[in-house]
Chain A
Amino acid sequence: MPPSSDQNRQSWEELLILVAEIQSHDAFAQLYRHFAPRLKSYLMRGGASDSLAEDVAQEAMATAWRKAALFDPAKANVSTWLFTIARNLRIDRIRRESRPEPDPNDPAFVPEPLPSPDRVITAQQNADIIQHALADLPDTQREAVMLSFFEEASHAAIAERLQVPLGTVKSRIRLGLRSLGQRVNCESYGVDP
């Protein structure tokens, strides 16, 4: 749980803003103690050894320090933001590829249309909606969707692990992702499924 559940403490967002604004070592240490072990766990589930995962998790947190001023709470909550940093480092350090991404400052980039005021939704609300939508998926679909997030878990490996045919795994993932997408469209943006 974020420390905001305790009213005397600051939220992850507030701590990260302290890192950006006053280079607070104390705020960074609190973020580190919570998130570094989870980043390491994510990297190990993706197939990295303990020592490689340790190094990449440290580097991800150092990157978070360096990029703290670029954190935009409207786009992602702290967990999601840190995940994207660790994901990109994993591609770079472990897969030895780059991750092509759009550049919002490029003149060819098509910006978001301005949302109508009643449709503005915070990144935290978005994260909560996803959490509930995941929880509401049928168990078999949620399991396949979550397993397929990790590189080591190819669809064939997932099929073997769950002892079901490959086609079944693929259709569970497809159905699961579709209902996640529809649920979020419906709740966040008022779009009918």
Chain B
Amino acid sequence: MTIRHHVSEELLYEYAAGRLGETWSVAIATHLALCPECRMRERLFDSVGGNILDASAPATMAHGSLDACMALIEANGSQEPAHSQRTTETPARPVFPEPLRGYAGGDLDTVPWSKVGGGVRQKIISAGTDATASCRLLYITPGQAVPEHGHRGLELTLVLAGSFSDGDATFARGDLEIADEEVEHTPIAGMDGPCICLAVTDAPLRFKSWLPRLAQRFIKI
């Protein structure tokens, strides 16, 4: 598997700095599970943090700070071993890597899909208390075009199975598409099985033709 579409420098830096919201971070961390190259880039940005520690002027610690820390250590009990046992049941060959599998509540075969029309199904995923973005799994029938849509903000789409193409570019397992408000795109699912994606947006998708029509039908105009 060769990943061709990676996390941008800006998003990776925000993730390393600990500034990126939890919902966005699910997509980034799941890409990292599949992409050794981006993990290497992330370690580099982590070491910016190490550098900041080295260069920072030491703050004054409270009186008895070390003793208080030692008391915390005594209260917490023993050290963790270098290798810990896995405690949860894991499928032999999961489609969803961790951390996504935990957030989704299981692997692909357990997803309770809802139809949204046009050969597309979805499952909304919640990521803690972070309300800055919405996160969903998408199931797109082979060969199906997702209606052209623009964005009011950022959209991250991570492919987990199958593929889609968008203009000249093809996205397969592990590839991350980053689209901002300037991009209006028409992804088309490949013929190699259903395309399963994780999509994170900071605004509702703005379909050019499809949802408005659905809404119109609903209110019977």
Which residues of A line the B interface, CB within 8 A? 20, 23, 25, 29, 32-33, 35-42, 44-45, 50-51, 53-54, 57-59, 61-62, 65-70, 75-77, 79-84, 87-88, 90-91, 96-103, 105-113, 123, 126-127, 130-131, 134, 145-146, 148-151, 173-174, 177-178, 180-181, 184, 189
Contact = CB atoms under 8 A, between A and B. Distances in A.
12 contacts: A37-B59, A38-B53, A62-B73, A76-B50, A98-B128, A103-B33, A106-B33, A106-B97, A110-B33, A130-B44, A146-B52, A181-B44
Interface of B: 1, 9-10, 13, 17-19, 21-22, 25-26, 28-30, 32-36, 39-41, 43-44, 46-54, 56-62, 65-66, 68-70, 72-73, 76, 78-82, 86, 90-99, 101, 103, 127-130, 174
A93 to B, nearest CB: 12
A28 to B, nearest CB: 8
A112 B60 contact: no
A86 to B, nearest CB: 8
Contacts of A35: 53
A70 to B, nearest CB: 6
Contact of A66 (B10, B32, B73, B93): B73
A112 B62 CA distance: 43
A98 B51 contact: no
A59 B72 CA distance: 8
